[in-house]
Structure 1
């Protein structure tokens, strides 16, 4: 639906009270925008000083905000015994309902840090959408998953893999290197 633009002489006048309210809202938006720019500068400065955050940013689907949030939230990754335990802490592993030796995996538990989980899933969504043009090993893996499974399930699987990769990078102090396609 097209939005009508108000111009002088159109015959449409905004009441003085509405103008005052709109001007107050515009001033608040300007103030918020400048505060956000300031926070972004501080975040970027912290990111440049943090080796862990810089290493995490090399993972596909992990940007500045996700990298800094992970690095700040997990100061000692050796607290977790394995990458699976780290992914479980984030709530990215299936819930297990096992009895009588029969393993049954349910839905993703969604326990743990919802903010980090959300950031990882959003990054995974980006990776899954770019998988069509990606000829790396990860791109092939994502395309094969998308052929068999629903897109949302695939994005959570990618987020789980990203979390495990992040744990490995934090523990080993390494940088992400994409494996070439076979």
Structure 2
């Protein structure tokens, strides 16, 4: 296989389908491999471009194949779909990946490092534990309300649960169920605390996250997630590109030289967008304690716009600052 220039791989859990092309785009080989067979095949091929979709297991495969001397290109699945011809199967998907990868204007995904993948898993586990803890408190609130006991929102129900059980004559099985939910809440809180310790230890060793912490309003969780998702910032050409891919921006549908801006787009990382908006709101709440040009800009915007509009605008500006701090390896200066 000396003439192979481009290899498209349709990744699977146990089987992998490849489509090989030469420099002119002529098909050379279609074959199905197991994981071990695929690595052996690529090890015997001359260095070429290997492309596949960015999905589960893709970043590990990118690192493994990159060590074999190949140039790896990861493509977002939404950009591959238009190149699928009529009927769909694994070999047609692999061919579509080759077609997408050969486009000069195609945008590619930067492969993540092992550390970035591990931190992404840590954040997903933390979010899952927090959602489960909120669900537990909501269940306790709902069960008490069904028996006529209404408590303030939040974790007040956890603090006062023992007193509520003593003051009210609930069925014995319901009391046991509420105590079990209380124990589950305590367990989840302990697990979240352990995850936060891991996060704090990692932040102390991550130089990029330490620089991001100098940005007003950005806390440890947001700094860690930004450092994990953005990397060195080199996969974005400018701060505008990073902000547009992260924060809410209008969806555009322009034609005939007429610019038409539609509703706010919700594409991109929803969790990261939510955290940046929260950072903006924290900054706005402590505006009098945050002197500098950024604070003055926020004050001018609040004088003529609603606070929700200013929060989204500030989140967009924070995203641009994040890219500048990361790409230029600098710290935020007021």
Range of TM-score over shorter length = 0.7 to 0.9
Q: 2:273 aligns with which of 70, 95, 117?
A: 117
Aligned to 2:309: 153
Q: 1:52 aligns with which of 208, 228, 233?
A: 208
Q: After the TM superposition, which residues 29-178 of structure 1 pair with which residues of structure 2 at under 5 Å, given as runs?
A: 29-178=185-334
Seen in structure 2, the aligned counterparts of structure 1 residues 32 and 137 have a Cα distance that, compared at 3 Å, is same
**Can you give the 5+ residue segments of structure 1 that lack an aligned partner in the other structure?**
none
Answer 1 or 2: higher relative contact order, Cα 8 Å, separation at least 6: 1
Q: Is the 8 A contact 1:91 1:108 kept in 2?
A: no
TM-score, with length taken from structure 2: 0.49
**Shift of residue 41 of structure 1?**
0.3
Q: Is the 8 A contact 1:132 1:143 kept in 2?
A: no
Larger mean Cα displacement after TM superposition, 162-171 or 96-105: 96-105
Larger mean Cα displacement after TM superposition, 131-140 or 44-53: 131-140
**Shift of residue 17 of structure 1?**
1.2
SS at match of 1:60: coil
Partner Cα distance (1:81, 1:57) in 2: 23
Structure with the higher strand share, 1 or 2: 2
Partner Cα distance (2:286, 2:228) in 1: 28
Partner Cα distance (1:127, 1:100) in 2: 41
Seen in structure 2, the aligned counterparts of structure 1 residues 100 and 29 have a Cα distance that, compared at 3 Å, is same
**Can you give the 5+ residue segments of structure 2 that lack an aligned partner in the other structure?**
1-149, 153-159
**Shift of residue 106 of structure 1?**
4.1
**Shift of residue 127 of structure 1?**
1.4
Larger Rg over CA atoms? 2
Aligned to 2:177: 21
Q: Is the 8 A contact 1:47 1:64 kept in 2?
A: yes
**Shift of residue 134 of structure 1?**
3.8
Seen in structure 2, the aligned counterparts of structure 1 residues 2 and 48 have a Cα distance that, compared at 3 Å, is closer
Seen in structure 2, the aligned counterparts of structure 1 residues 73 and 157 have a Cα distance that, compared at 3 Å, is same
**Shift of residue 66 of structure 1?**
0.4
**Shift of residue 6 of structure 1?**
4.7
Q: Is the 8 A contact 2:212 2:325 kept in 1?
A: yes
Q: CA RMSD in A?
A: 2.3
